[in-house]
Every structure is written in C-alpha cells, then in structure tokens.
Amino acid sequence: MKHIQIIKSACLIIMFISSSSYAISIAEARHLWSRTGFSQTELLINNHQDMSRVDAIKSILDMTLYTPPLKSLPEFDNAIYSALKSKNISKKEKQKIKKNNIKKDKKILQSWWYEQILSTTNPLQEKMTVFWHNHFTSDLQKVFAPYMFKQNQIFRQNALGNFEDMLYQFMHDPAIHYYLDNIKNKKQNPNENLARELLELFTLGEGDHYSEQDIKNIAKSITGYRINFKNQKLDFKKRQHDNSFVTIFASSGSYTIDGVLRLILSHPKTAEFITEKLWREFISENPDKHEVKRISEKFRESGYEIKLLISDLLHSEHFWEKQNYDSLIKSPFDLLTSTAYLLKIDKSDTNKLPSLLANAGQKLFFPPDVRGWRGSTYWLSTELIIARKKMLKKYIKKVIKLNKKTNPKYSSILSERLTSKRQFFAVGEAIPRKITKPIDKLIYLLMNDKYNFK
Amino acid sequence: MKRRDFIKTVAYSSMLSPGLSWSKQKSKNKYLILIELKGGNDGLNTVVPYNDKLYYSKRPGINIPTDKVIKLDRQIGLHPSLTSLADLYKQGELSIIQNVGYPKPNKSHFTSIDIWERASRNKRSNGWLYELFDKNNTARLIDSIVFSGSTGLFRGPKSNFIKIKTISSFIKEAKLLENETTISNPNNKNQQYLINSNNLIKKVANELLNKTSNTKWGSLANKTPLDRQLSQVSELINTNIDIPVLKVAIGGFDTHADQPESHYELLKELNNSVASISNYLKAKNLWNNTLIMTYSEFGRRISENGNNGTDHGEASCMFCTGGMVNGGIYGGKLDLSNTHKDNLIYKIDYRDIYATLERNWFNVENTTLPNSSLKFI
C-alpha cells in the first residue's frame, strides 16, 4: 500500500513539474491571454513556444508595481462642488450648477476612463480596476464626479497591490460614505447601510459567520465621519461618534473604522471570500472548496498581496483544465477591450463608448446597484445577447470610419493585422477562405458566437 | 351571495368545466402582471395606521398627517398619492394584504428578493414560477416576459422567459441572430445557455411578430418608466398572446434618507400607471382576465432613522387588483406595539399568497405549496 502511495505521489509530482515546465501550446497561451485582460498579447502570440506556464504567468504579472495613467488626469472645478454643499447658495444657483457642470463632469470622467482603458500598457491593471470598481461599488448617479475619480484612483493604484491597503484607503475616502449614507450615520440615529454592505459585499460575504448584532455594532463604530467638501476629505467628528463599548465577532471594545477593519481582516472568511470571487473571475464558476481554502490562507498570510493571490490562481491546476477553456462569458468590457486590440485603433470616439456599453449592460461608473454587475449568464440574457452584438457592430463601424479618414490604408493595415494566429486568439478557429474583405473578416470574428467566451 | 361573487362563481365553473371546447377556442387568456417595488417599500407609509399614536410618535418627521391620509376604514388609510388605488378599493377591486413576510427575515436586498423569488431559502431551488409551470407541463414557448427588474421567479435549467425593453425593438434586433449558433464546447453550461437563448429569441421574436402585426404601440400613457413598461404589457394582453406572466419593476424604494419626497413620487408613479392600465383593460373588456400584484423584498423599520428615512425592515403590505379580486383588507391589523426589534412581525407568509394564486388564478393541478385560507381572489 505504502509503496503504491509513494509511487502515486511521485508520479503526480513529475506530472506537475512536466506540465508546468514544458512549453505551453497556442491553445494554452490563448486561454491565459483571454483570462488576464488581453495582457502581453504580442509576447504570447509570438513566443509561447519558448515559454513554460511559469514563464508565461510571470510575463503577465511581472509588470511594474503600478502603471500610472497615460492620459492626463481629468480636471474638475472643485469650488463648484463645495459651493453646491454650502448653506448660502440659492436654489436657482444650485440648478444652474447642476445643469451646466455636473452633467459635463460626468461625461469627462467617463471618457477619461475609456481612453485610459484603450490606451493603457497594463491591461491587467485596468481589468482589475474594473473588478474592484464592481466589488467596492459606488454610483456616479449619486456621487459627484471628482469623488468617483478619487475612488477610481484608489482601485487603480492598488489593483494588483495590497488588499488591506486598498480597503483602508477606500474606507477613509469620502465616496463610499456618501454612496451608502454613512455621512448620515449618527450616534443618536445610526444608519446601517455601509456597515451591512461592508460585511456582506466587501469583505466577509453573506452568511452565518456574522450576526445582525455585529452589523448594528459596526454601524455604531463607524459613526461620526463627515465629508469636508472644501478639501474633499473625510473628517472625523468626535462628538458625533458613538464610542460605546460593543462586541463585534466576539471581540469587545470601543472602535472606529480602523478597529473594525482590523477585526474584519483577522477573520479568515475575508480572504476566502475575495479568493473565491477572483476564482470566478479567472478560473471557473465552480470554485474548489479545498483549493480556495489553501490559496486564501496563503493570501492572508502574505498580508493580502493581490498579485500573489492571482499568481496562485493562475498556477493552480484547475486554471489549466481543458474543460475551463472558453467556459466564462466575456463582460461587455472584455468584448470591447479584446476588440480594440484586434482593431489596433489609433483613434477612437470615446464619447460614444459609455452609451454603447450601457446598452450592452455595463456602463462603467454606473453599476446596477450596490452589488454591482452579476456577470456570467446575466450578460447573455435575452435582452443583452442582442445588445452586445449591436454594440460591437456600431463600435467597429465607428472606428473604421474614423481611421479611414486619417489613414486611407487602414483597410490593408486591418487585413494584415488579422493573421491566422490572431484569428485563433479571437475565436479559436480560422476565418473561412471565402471571406476576403477585411471588414467582412472582422465582422465574421466579432459576430461569431464563440467570441462571447473567454 | 353578492352579485360580484355570483359572477365569479359562474366564471370559475365555466373555466373548470372540461367539455366546453368552444369556450377554449374563444376564451381569453389570463394574465398575472407583477410589479416589483425595488429597494424595499415602506409599507407603513403606503398603508398608514393613522389611528395609532405609536405610528406618529415613532415617525415624528416622516409620518403622513392624519388629514392627508385617504382613509379606508377606522384604522388604516392610503398614502395621499394613491388616489386611483383608493378608487379601485371602493369599487371592490383592490385587495390589500398586510403583515406579509416570512420567518427569520433576511435584511439583505439580494438575499431577501431571492427568498421571495424561489419561494424558499434554499439557494439551489428553482424560481417559484419556473417550478409551477414546469410541474404542470404547460408546453408554452415561454411563460413570461420580463420588462425590468430581477428574473429570479423564472430561474431554472431551461429558459422559459425573455427579458426585453420593448416588443418592437426586440423583434427588430432579433434579426442579428439569424445565423446558426456555433460553439466549441457543448458540455459547458454557459455555452449551452447561449445556444438555448439564441434559439428561444428567434422563435419568440417570430411569434411576437405574428401576434402584434396589427398593434399600434404607444396609445397609452407614456410619461414614466413604469408607464412605458405597462403600456407594452397592456398592448400585449390585447393580442391575447399565451404568455401568462408579465413582469415590470420600479426602483428607488431604498429610502434611507429624505424619504417623504422620493416616496411620494414613487407611489404617485405606481398609482398613475396602475390607473392607466386598469382603465385601458376595462375599456377593452379584459379587466376580468388580469390580475396585478405588487411585491417588494422587505418592508422598513417602524421608527424613522434620523435622516428622514427608514432602514431595512421586515413585514410589509402588498396590493392586488383586477376584475376578479375579492376587494378588502387581509392579513389582520397592524400591530406597532408587539414588534420584533422595531419591525412589524409577519402574520401572512408570502407563500400563502403564492398558494392562492396557484389554485385560484392559475387553476393548476399540481401545486407546489400547501393550501392557504387567504382568498383575496
């Protein structure tokens, strides 16, 4: 018996070593490419035969710690926003500001992000920025543009960094306190909105591992935070803070935000919840409980290093199982970014992108509710299946028209670009020979039902 | 026996008698219109216990003043914006079910609406209506059209509903799917989902095109999002298409702050849209074939929260209206003194309402729930 066990585990070790040190196939390269936000495309297309799994994953994760935005940052007139919140402003003036500035700023902010997404040299970082935006939701409908922008920068700076840092920064940033009514949470009149979502959606995930009493006590502990609309920071008003002695997850004390976050971060469920959510993003819709637990423990022990967590997920045997290829549904964001790569656009009309994505169900900065976009088959509802095809059609028409104006040779550039390898990366097959015109080739790829998967 | 009851009995018996094949051919289909009030509607400011001092002492800032309440009896009355619902009540066509909830209430929007839609706490069970139609083998192309809001009621392994914005745009856009669906891995459930959805869309678009070729869209009120959804619904009912459930939604009921203004607008939107669709259906002689029901994931806390709003609560009220409704107030009295952590304690399990719908509205043989004594229809 023992011998067999030893031989078995030896075989497993050998198999593991062999599969991870051998060169990856083009199918494996495509799988890794499509799951990591279309990062390092050229490298994977051209050099996969020289790369092992470890090399390939390293090539994607080994980018600089943080890639600052390429596009110059959007500028907002902050005085207007503090005026809007001051007491000595007339209703008429308020209406005027709302009409002239607020709408415009919302558009500026959205366009800025789309330009950033389409021009970034670090697509995985942008993909993760969208991921965190969908995890720690806030809505531009309710929260002013400059505040949403600041929050967005927190997600970008920590996208592949440290979860603990991100959580602290996020909870000390005004946007979420405005979005979930915590600026109205007072000692005399607690408001539980942020306390509840902090546990249910942002850290522990819903379940029996916390109680209604925990929520009430956290709500008490995070009273007294107010937005200073002049410097756009979060102030702590000691007088409005409830410093009474409370019990949270069986620990007793008098807490503020930092104390609450410490308790949350020392709860093992937090790492598990985040690991499972990222498993669904990168591997499959069927997380393996034991593997999630193992990886989440490493994540927690590392002090919540996100890049390490993603690296562990990509190295997991589950990631490379053939049945997981093309098993996840691309979000509209995924569709758009993979298409932008195929088109290799120089010019793009980003003004139209928000409405295109909105029709396909994912208008960035405007999540459907505090839980964010649900993903998976929600993207393929009868309503959205059609809308995403429409989005792609409109988008390529616009891009082609725009680029033809400035570059008459754009058609032939496009044609050269659609090499057989790129066709394979797009849909896992070649375009039939009878299709010859570049635009038709492109439409064949993008309207192909296989293009919906990653 | 009241005249209305007599008519109802006759209507029921003709529906239940088997041998009348002529009536089957000519019969008009029945429709359940569901209006989801997203965010957790504040039941206590919708149906107001205006005679209860506790109501006013616990809600000093957001209460509905006694003189503004549209009084229905000596205890309760409607929010002042619900004038048309009050008219329907007077005509015996509105039932108000109070104190609706379920044991061990969950206060998460998502979990609670999930519990409502599955008729169960088990996260693996199918949607309530999916299960009902599946058990009764109705063999329709689809059982429902969802115009807005969540689709959990119809969740199950096979697609039996579509979610769309408008009928005409759906028919037009379905043409984008003309080619055969090609996929790489038929064993994958997401890829399978796409194939099924594509096939379904093509078939349903065809059926809708045939049925609505003479429909003139946009003849109804068209001011609000709910108006726009319900005008689609009413035109569809007018075609007598065999799709028994039509679902719409209106969002914004999560009134944690500054509730009075926003709640007034929301209820006004609801009131006006229901008025407009009921007038239309009455004029077309279709009111007896239609049942409109509102629901929401939970009610709100009894005491206001100090931001002129209310936090997530427990039991709440529901409206049911239509030609076949036994108008009245169900579910017992509102009790603000005997409460659960400042919440109304439920007296009516929401599944009792489902049970009544299964037997008295859908008239199905295989029900999914135990019998209920709640005879609001």
- Average pLDDT (A106-115) is 93
Of residues B244 and B108, which shows the higher confidence score? B244
Which structure tokens are listed for B287?
């009111």
Domain match, A107 and A237 both = yes
Portion of chain A with pLDDT greater than 70, in percent: 94
Can you tell me the distance from the alpha carbon of B321 to that of B92, in angstroms, rounded to the nearest whole number? 9
Q: What is the pLDDT of residues B183-231, one digit of tens each?
A: 888 889 999 989 988 999 999 999 999 999 999 888 788 899 999 999 9
CB contact under 8 A, A450 and B107: no
- Tell me which of A217, A232, A265 is where a domain ends: A265
User: What are the CA-CA distances from residue B317 to residues A94, B82, B113, B297 (Å)?
Assistant: 38, 14, 15, 11
A69 found inside a domain: no
Mark whether A253 and A285 lie in a shared domain.
no
Last residue of a domain, one of A250, A265, A280: A265
Q: How far is A329 from chain B (nearest CA, A)?
A: 7
Give the residue carrying structure tokens 């937090």: A270
Q: From CA B134, how far away is CA A210, in angstroms rounded? A: 37
pLDDT of A411 reads 87
Tell me the pLDDT tens digit for each residue of A324-335.
Answer: 999 999 999 999
Long-range contacts (CB closer than 8 Å, 24 or more residues apart) made by A254-261: A254/A221, A255/A221, A256/A221, A256/A222, A256/A224, A257/A171, A257/A172, A257/A221, A257/A222, A257/A225, A258/A168, A259/A221, A260/A198, A260/A218, A260/A221, A260/A222, A261/A167, A261/A168, A261/A171
**Residue B24 predicted with pLDDT over 60:** no
Q: How confident is the model at residue A102 (pLDDT cuts 50, 70, 90)?
A: very high
For residue A67, is it within any domain? no
**Tokens matching residue A300:** 């927690």
H helical segments located in A162-301: 163-171, 174-179, 193-197, 212-221, 257-265, 268-282, 289-301
Can you tell me the ipTM of this complex? 0.88
Residue of chain B whose alpha carbon sits nearest to that of A450: B183
Tell me how far apart the alpha carbons of residues B125 and B123 are, in angstroms, rounded to a whole number: 6
Q: pLDDT tens digit string along B248-294?
A: 999 999 999 999 999 999 999 999 999 999 999 999 999 999 999 99
Chain B CB contacts of A447 under 8 Å are: 176, 179
Q: Supply angle C-alpha B200, A330, A416, rounded to 5.
A: 110
**Comparison of pLDDT for B11 and A349, the residue scoring more:** A349
Q: Write the residue in A323, A369, A449 that is nearest to B194 by C-beta.
A: A449
**A90 against B242, higher pLDDT:** B242
**Of A199, A211, A204, A201, residue with least CA distance to A246:** A211
**Partner residue opposite B182 with nearest CB, options A370, A393, A450:** A450
Whole-number Å distance between alpha carbons of B171 and A89: 50
CATH number of B31-165+223-352: 3.40.720
Do A346 and A368 share a domain, yes or no? yes
Minimum mean pLDDT range among A52-61, A162-171, A243-252: A52-61
Question: At a CB cut-off of 8 Å and minimum separation 6, what does B175 contact?
Answer: B205
Same-domain pairing of A293 and A273: yes
Residue B14: the pLDDT is: 46
What percent of chain B lies above the pLDDT cut of 90? Answer: 76
Distance of CA A426 to the CA centre of its chain: 21
The angle that helices A438-447 and A382-406 make with each other, rounded to 10 degrees, is 160
> Same structural domain for residues A242 and A274?
no
Mean pLDDT value of segment A354-377: 90
Give me chain A's average pLDDT, please.
91
Residue A255 CA to residue A238 CA, distance in Å, equals 12
**Lowest-confidence range among A89-93, A210-214, B11-15, B342-346?**
B11-15
Kindly state whether residues A173 and A247 are assigned to the same domain.
yes
Q: Is residue A110 part of a domain?
A: yes
Residues A179 and A220 in one domain: yes
Q: Is residue A72 part of a domain?
A: no
On the question of pLDDT at B131 being above 80, the answer is yes
**Highest averaged pLDDT of the listed ranges A179-193, A279-293, A413-427:** A279-293
A181 and A96 within one domain: yes
Same domain, A136 and A283: no
Interface test with B, best of A142, A214, A366, A385 (most B CBs within 10 A): A385
- Chain A residue with Cα closest to B188: A327
Lowest mean pLDDT among A16-25, A395-404, B52-61, B84-93: A16-25
State whether B173 and A212 contact (CB < 8 Å). no
Q: What is the mean pLDDT of residues A20-49?
A: 88
State yes or no: pLDDT of B179 exceeds 80: no
Do A375 and A428 share a domain, yes or no?
yes
| Residues A195 and A109 reside in one and the same domain | yes
Chain B hits for A285, Cβ within 8 Å = 190
Average pLDDT over residues A256-262: 98
DSSP-assigned beta bridge partners for residue B319: B96
* Per-residue model confidence (pLDDT) at position A19: 59
What CA–CA distance (Å, rounded) separates B49 from A61?
61
* Lowest pLDDT segment from A239-253, A378-392, B16-30, B318-332: B16-30
Report pLDDT digits (tens) over B91-105.
999 999 999 999 999
Instruction: Measure the CA dihedral B53/B54/B60/B66, to 10°.
Output: -40
Q: Does B141 touch chain A (CB under 8 A)?
A: no
Query: Could you tell me if A336 and A235 lie in one domain?
Result: no
Q: What SS3 class is residue A241? A: coil
Indicate yes or no: CB of B163 within 8 angstroms of CB of A447.
Answer: no
Mutation pick from B151, B248, B307 vs chain A, by most beta carbons of A within 10 Å, is B307
Averaged pLDDT for residues B69-93 = 98
Is B311 in contact with A192 (Cβ distance < 8 A)?
yes
- What are the structural domain ranges in chain B? 31-165+223-352, 167-216
pLDDT above 60: residue A202? yes
3-state secondary structure of A28: helix
The structural domain count of chain A equals 4
**B26 min Cα distance to partner chain A (Å):** 31
Does the residue A66 lie in any domain?
A: no
- Looking at residue A13, its pLDDT comes to 55
Kindly state the helix (H) or strand (E) to which residue A355 belongs, with its residue range: helix A353-359
Mean pLDDT of chain B: 91
Domain range for A433 = 332-452
Cβ-Cβ pairs closer than 8 A, A with B, add up to 115
pLDDT, tens digit, 9 for 90 and up, residues A285-338: 999 999 999 999 999 999 999 999 999 999 999 999 999 999 999 999 999 888
Task: Please check whether residue B190 touches A, CB under 8 A.
Answer: yes
